[in-house]
Structure 1
Amino acid sequence: MKADLPVPSEGELYERIADRVGIEPEQIAEVLASHGLELTGSLPAKRELVVHRLYCEGRKTGTTGNDGPFTVDIRLGRGPWAISSSINSAGKSSLLWALSFALRGEGFDAFCRPETVGWFRFVRVDIEVGGAAASVRLFFDKPGHPSTRLLTADAIDDLLALEGQSEGRMGVRLAATAEPSGVKGLIGRFMMERLGLQSVSVWAAESNAPKDENGNRDSAEQVHGWASFFYAIALNSASDSLLLGPTLVGQLPVKLMQLFLDVPYAAELSRLSTLRKAETQEVSRVARRAKEDARARDEQVAPLREALEEAQQRLRRMEAARPDVGGLVAAVDQAAAELAAQQTAHQEASEQHRAARKARQSDQRAERRAKQSSAARLLLGALDPEVCPRCDHEIDDARRAAENDEHQCAVCARPLPSVLEDPQAQAEALARIDTRLAASKVAEDSCAATLAATAERLAAARAAYDESAAQLAKVRSSDWFVLFDKSQREVDQMRGALTLATGGKCEDTPPALAAALAAAKPVQENSVEQGSGYETVLAAAAEALKDVVDRHSRALFSELNDEIVQIAHDLGVTNLTSVNLSLGGQLNAVKSGAKHRFSAFSPVDRLRMRIAVVVGMIKVSRRRGIMSHPGLLLIDAPTAEELTSQATHQVLDTLYRTGNTVPGLQMIITSIEDAVWDIYPKDRIVTGVDGRELF
């Protein structure tokens, strides 16, 4: 066993960083704390995950003569286990999938058999996690989307004593529940907290993000938690070309190895690196946006100035061609005054004409009565009222007829005096009536002439007013005003656009708008200097942490390299001379005397190498007295690609011996090979009736 490298304390790290930047360690701690970073390091890990029981209920459908309900109850523990059958499609991988779903919060794709997912109605897994007893219960109301109930107990035996879906027992408690959308999150948090794990951050380019001038895309943080860590428990299938984990992005495989080798300060370096990249990218984005804005302004300003000048010239031409609206308005006012005067004169002449006409009509009636009635002649010269002088009631035709025929006064209805007509007096009276009628006719004719004259002058005044008003309306509704308003709006719009494009530095900018733009600009004088100082501290901290992480990783990887080669040989990987794990996650194997990429291994050898890496990590950490890996391995069909029974026997024997000899290891495999029955004791084999269907 190689000597352990010393791990610097928190205070020593702060001093190293302080020496790099020339400030006090306390200030270093404050800067890092302001970014959510504390260099407390991690205590030796003791991660343990043991599966004690797998219980499933469901109903099989779509099989050939084997449909119906099923119940599976499997008791497990530490050491090697084989889920085996003598036939294919017996449910081996499906049971591993059900187990992985309860442990991970979602099914492991490599174990999934789509045709059996809908069979499971209830899955229960009783486990010990970091020394705590728990039972994960999955209820599949919808295939592949269960709700969950998480139970805890004082001891694992309290949970194992429960039957089926039962939860009632002294010491057993319901810890949490989750609907289908929250199952992965709940189980992930539970496992991370109980196993003392921290999320790993990687920085990955956004696939749809635009490229900058250097061809680089904007990136984003990807946070990997329990679902990704689970790849060190449930190994990738033989067909997968990744050494470890779900992706190569951000060197995740090597970060998973550092995690499960308990490399000091690896998690802190991961968070710090992501933080720096995020801040650097934001600074780059701000600078890029500023550069793009400046370029866009430069491209916009010249055309905008030209457009503004053209709009102002059009406006000046429109102003020079402005119609004389003032003169037209004065003409309309003058015509209106003349029209009002003529309307007054016409009204007066009309009233005079009506009075003259009424007088003539009255005289004409008097003449007619005098010539037709002796009573009227008797009263010639007397009062001849139209209405009663007292009550204003009209003297109607009946009264006048009575006066003529019955000689009764039309006013008081009394008999008229009996007076004999004097022919001479009668002639004189008629003469007077004729004279008065002639005079009233002359007066009426004069008033009619005056009325006709005023009517002509009124018509002329109205025509003059209508003409001047029409000319004013025509000018006001002409295209000039429309074009003038349009030209004015164009000038205002060009000024606004130029103001925005120049940031308020346009000479045509209205003072109020320029003041508003100046007030809206953020003050950034001190932020650049402060950000630059922070970046210096963060960069120095990253260098100090990277030095520790790299030195410890190299030392542990060097020790792990020897384990990988030895385990790979035991698993039947031939002609493998060496491996040299790099900090970039490359295996750097030498096989048959030549460099050999991991993806160049055959599928069966890739699985063997993957098993060798994980088992090697477990053995290295155990030798150092820590349990940084949970100690559980789930491997589906490790010999599926083997071509010889001898190689198959060698692989299964190595796995069995590994499960027996590595302290705290629990290894569950599936297999259809006959060698399982020779290597694994019967109490370590999970199988069905006569070695056939498991459920």
Structure 2
Amino acid sequence: MSDSSGDLADRVALDARLERKTVLGVLQKFEIPLVTAAALPRPLRLDRVRLVGERSVDPIGPFDQEFAFSTGTTAFVADNFKGKSSLLELITWCVRGSRRGDLQAIIRSWLSQVECDAYVAGRHLGYRLELSEGQLVRGRVLTGPSAESLRGGPGAPGVSEILSVSDEEAYADGVSALMLDLLNLDRIESASSQSADGKARHGWPAYFGAIYLPAGGDRALLGEVMMGGLPGRLLQVFLDLPSAAQLTKVKAIRDSRRASARADSDDAVRLIALQISQRTEAAEVLEQRQLRLAELADDNPEPASKVAERVQQLSAQLVQAEARKRDAQRTFDAAHDQRQDDERQVNNLRESAAARALFHALDPQACPRCEAPVTRERKAAEKNDSHCSVCTTPVAVDADDEDLRRQVLAEASERTEASRKAERAARRLLTEAERAVTQTGEDLRSAELQLGAAEKALQSSERATLTAEIARLEGFLSALTLPTLVADSPRDDIDAVLDSAAKILEADGVEASRSLFEALNAEILDLAKRFGIKDLSEVKIDRGARLKIIKPGGPPEYFKYQSPGERLRLRIAVAIALLRVGNKFGIATHPGLLMIDSPKAEEVQDIDASALFSALSELTQETPGLQILVTTVDEPLVRRVLDDDKIFAPAEPGGPLW
């Protein structure tokens, strides 16, 4: 445990073995306070919301709806898509300063005015939004002596305007700064590699994530952002842990410096990697150019004239091969036709009795005596009229001459088989001729490519270009020297001061917060059981807002591994426990406002939802200043738990809330 006597500068000087003057210089440079005062109370309570506009869907028409709140649990009850969630989103836009992405454009398009009155750390504030076509055209914040006075606007007695802007971004910035100031909250800094100075700064919207609780499926215990240790920072702020603000700032500065140093080192590594890549690429290109130049400078390449002679020879061979192919094609065509004629003759003999008696089925082309040609007409007469195709004399056919028929048909069949063999031989010759044409053509194309390369090699301009490029690459490689990584710089006085300050402030916080965390764990356990999580034996939350869950007979598990319904109930338990512990120890803590959208959506059994609503109602009665706004579709459930003046429901069943 560190010695708590003396201010922070004395204690750091002793721990870091530095002079007080040196330590003061570092603390002043980074505006780190030597002492911190206890935070003032930061209550936040909603009084009234008014929505004015015109609906474009059923029920179509103008509306002017007002909701008035008090402390305790208030429920908004309506069917899905009837305005419950959008009401919470509009409250968020007013009080948070910036709207969330869950507020639909069509909802914004209906609105012309949004008014929200709240009590913030002892002051009555009125948030006023004026919209046109879904866009903010004017945003104002009023302050007055009472909630009622704010309704009269800036002209009412005691009411003044402390913020007036004409665009959404300016309204967000103005409200964020105002709320941080009124609630005595500092911007939370964390290290980030995404910003120029290595720091991420979180303002009022980050705190608001502990007011409008995320859905059960979200894994953050407090707030909406898990990066940068933000849930733990929120927990420490809400518990007003001693030195929490100092420790947060010291760690952010130290982490930012370390991130910057790592970035410088990473830049050097990336530079070396880039130069190695450039050197490798240049060497590869140089090798390619040198090989090409060697090819062009070869003393015994095949002369272009010799390649041209081979091209000429192959061209002649291709012409001859194509001529042989044409001859083979004609021979094949003739053999093919003869085979078809012979086959037709056999068919005709089988059909014509006269043909069987004539010339033993010969196919005469001329008279055997005078060599006069046998015309196609005579052959047709022989077939059709039984007239001899040679002498035209009528032929008497003996239909019973079976021996003659068989002899004539056998001779015709033999002649047909011979023509088939001739056709197959002609086909083989044609195939060989086609193959010869294809091969010769490929050889010719290859020779032509070789001739082109040989002619290109003769061009002296390519040699000159390659020579110049090789010289340039060699010069680049000789001038490119790889840098060496500089060893890590020695730890300086700033590092020593920041490390010692973080160690001392961390020890102060641990010692002072021990009783706070014991009380906080007890409250969380009790609340979680009241919310329906019965099988709990112990919970432990640490300063990083890591919640460990211990169930009978099972190993310890962290919050993020629980079911969505359990996560939601535990998240509510933590927020309420912060307020109850704050009241017990008399410290400024959670503002005391919670907004919960459709908790039953995360529940499986109605009995669990009933236990949750009953516990919330009891807790708001037990806990001074606690205000909870909750939405649900289950009207019978809330009617059993809450009084009628705590329930807002549509005028007609199934209608819109506003």
Scaled to the shorter chain, the TM-score interval is 0.5 to 0.7
Q: Name the aligned partner's letter for residue 254 of structure 1.
A: G
Counterpart of 1:76?
A: 69
Maintained 8 Å contact 1:604/1:642:
yes
Q: How far did residue 652 of structure 1 move?
A: 1.5
Q: What's the counterpart of residue 132 of structure 2?
A: 141
SS of 2:81 mapped into structure 1? coil
Q: Give me the whole-angstrom Cα distance separating, in 2, the residues matched to 1:205 and 1:611.
A: 32
The letter for the 1-side match of 2:89 is: W
CA positional deviation for 1:291: 5.6
Q: What letter corresponds to residue 94 of structure 2 in structure 1?
A: A
Is 1:599 matched with 2:560? yes
Is residue 2:25 matched to residue 1:25? no
1:537–1:171 CA distance, 2 compared to 1 (3 A) = same
What are the residue-to-residue correspondences of 1:15-414 with 2, within 5 Å?
15-63=10-58, 66-85=59-78, 87-108=79-100, 112=103, 116-143=107-134, 145-157=135-147, 159-162=149-152, 166-178=153-165, 179-204=167-192, 220-290=198-268
> How far does residue 182 in structure 1 lie from its aligned partner after superposition?
2.0
Instruction: Describe how 1:558-569 pairs up with structure 2 within 5 A.
Output: 558-569=518-529
C-alpha contact (below 8 Å) 1:53/1:127 kept by paired residues: yes
Alignment deviations for residues 113-144 of structure 1 (CA, whole Å, 9 cap, x no partner): 6653432221111112111221111122242x
Residue 677 of structure 1 pairs with residue 639 of structure 2: yes
Residue 74 of structure 2 aligns to a residue whose secondary structure is: strand
Per the normalisation by structure 2, the TM-score is: 0.65
- Find the residue that maps to 2:82 and give its secondary structure: coil
For the residues of structure 2 that align with 1:270 and 1:142, how far apart are their CA atoms?
A: 42
1:142–1:268: structure 2 CA closer, same or farther, 3 Å change rule? farther
| Residues 8 and 620 of structure 1: CA distance in aligned 2, closer, same or farther (over 3 Å) | farther
Deviation of 1:651 (Å): 1.8
Is this contact kept in 1: 2:254–2:498, CA < 8 A?
yes
Deviation at 1:657, TM superposition (A): 1.6
Q: Does 1:546 align with 2:506?
A: yes
Secondary structure at 1:39's aligned position in 2? Answer: coil
CA distance in 1, matches of 2:74, 2:587: 24
- CA distance, structure 1, for counterparts of residue 100 and residue 539 of structure 2: 29
Distance in 1 (alpha carbons) for counterparts of 2:562 and 2:28: 46
CA shift, 1:589, in A, is 0.2
CA distance 1:67–1:538, change in 2 (3 Å): same
Q: TM-score, normalised by structure 1?
A: 0.62
Q: Which residue of 1 aligns with 2:573?
A: 612
Letter of the 1:266 partner, please give it: A
CA contact (8 A) 2:189 2:249 kept: yes
Shift of 1:296: 7.0
Q: Distance in 2 between matches of 1:42 and 1:56?
A: 41
Say which of 576, 597, 605 aligns to 2:536. 576
Corresponding letter in the other structure for 2:120 = V
* 8 A contact 1:272–1:542 mirrored in 2: yes
8 Å CA contact 1:126, 1:156 repeated in 2: no
User: Residue 533 of structure 1 corresponds to which residue in structure 2?
Assistant: 493
**Structure 1 residues 599 and 542: alpha-carbon distance in aligned structure 2, compared to 1, 3 A threshold:** closer
Question: What is the distance in 1 between the residues matched to 2:511 and 2:80?
Answer: 48
CA contact (8 A) 1:29 1:38 kept: no
| Distance in 2, Cα, partners of 1:59 & 1:73 | 15
Distance 1:499 1:61, change over 3 A: same
Residue 264 of structure 1 aligns to a residue in which SS?
Answer: coil
**Distance (whole Å) between structure 1 residues aligned to residue 127 and residue 502 of structure 2:** 40
1:689 maps to 651
Matching residue's letter, 2:157:
M
Describe the SS at the equivalent of 1:689.
coil
RMSD: 3.9
Could you say if the C-alpha distance between residues 6 and 291 of structure 1 is closer, same or farther in structure 2, counting changes exceeding 3 Å?
Answer: closer
Q: Deviations over 1:294-352 (max 9, x none)?
A: 68779989999xx9xxxxxxxxxxxxxxxxxxxxxxxxxxxxxxxxxxxxxxxxxxxxx
**Residue pairs, 1:438-587, within 5 angstroms:** 501=481, 532-587=492-547
- Cα offset for 1:190? 1.1
2:444 corresponding residue in structure 1: none
Bigger drift between 151-160 and 611-620 goes to 151-160
Give distance in 1, aligned partners of 2:260 and 2:151. 56
* Contact 2:42/2:183 (<8 A) preserved: yes
Distance in structure 2 (CA, Å) of the matches to 1:644 and 1:487: 83
* Number of residue-to-residue matches in the alignment: 483
| Alignment partner of 1:635 is 2:596 | yes
1:613-647: CA deviations, max 9, x gaps? 10001111111112321111111222334455543
Matched to 1:27, the amino acid is: T
Aligned partner of residue 151 in structure 1, secondary structure: strand
1:155 deviates by 0.8
Deviations 1:445-474 (A, max 9, x none): xxxxxxxxxxxxxxxxxxxxxxxxxxxxxx
Instruction: Return the offset for 1:597.
Output: 3.3
Q: For residues 554-596 of structure 1, give each alpha carbon's deviation from its aligned partner in whole angstroms, at most 9, with x where no partner exists.
A: 5433321110110111111121111111344321101243233
Counterpart code for 1:71: D
- Residues 1:22 and 1:502: Cα distance change in structure 2 (over 3 Å): same
Amino acid at match of 1:249: M
**For residues 478-534 of structure 1, what are the alpha-carbon distances to aligned partners after superposition, in whole Å with 9 as ceiling and x for unaligned?**
xx9xx999999998998798668489xxxxxxxxxxxxxxxxxxxx9xx967x7122
Q: Is the 8 A contact 2:187 2:203 kept in 1?
A: yes
Structure 1, gaps ≥5 residues long: 210-217, 308-479, 504-523
Distance 1:268 1:690, change over 3 A: same
The answer on whether the counterparts of 1:203 and 1:219 sit within 8 Å (CA) in structure 2 is: no
Structure 2: gaps (5+ residues): 287-459
> Is contact 2:46–2:117 with CA below 8 Å preserved after alignment?
yes
AA matched with 2:171:
V
| Alignment partners' CA distance in 2, 1:665 and 1:681 | 17
Q: Which residue of 1 aligns with 2:9?
A: 14
Deviation of the 1:236 alpha carbon: 0.9
Paired letter, 2:73? P
Which of the pair has more CA radius of gyration?
1
Cα distance in 2 for residues equivalent to 1:665 and 1:82? 14
Q: Distance in 1 between matches of 2:274 and 2:601?
A: 62
Alignment check: 8 A CA contact 1:93 1:113 kept: no
Q: Does the aligned pair in 1 maintain the 2:93–2:99 contact within 8 Å?
A: yes
For 1:84, the aligned partner's letter is V
Indicate the SS of the match to 2:258. helix
Q: Cα gap change, 1:298/1:661 in structure 2, threshold over 3 Å: closer, same or farther?
A: closer
Q: Which amino acid in structure 1 is aligned with residue 551 of structure 2?
A: K
Aligned residue for 1:589? 549
Q: Percent identity?
A: 26
1:690 Cα deviation from its structure 2 partner: 4.7
Between the aligned partners of 1:152 and 1:7, the Cα distance in structure 2 is 48
Alpha-carbon distance in 2 for matches of 1:231, 1:617: 15
Q: Which shows bigger deviation, 283-292 or 603-612?
A: 283-292
What is aligned with 1:349?
none
1:201/1:59 Cα in 2 relative to 1: closer, same or farther (>3 Å)? same
C-alpha spacing 1:153/1:609, structure 2 compared with 1 (3 Å): same
Look up the SS of the partner of 2:586 in the other structure. Answer: coil
Q: Relative to 1, partners in 2 of residues 1:122 and 1:154: Cα closer, same or farther, differing over 3 Å?
A: closer
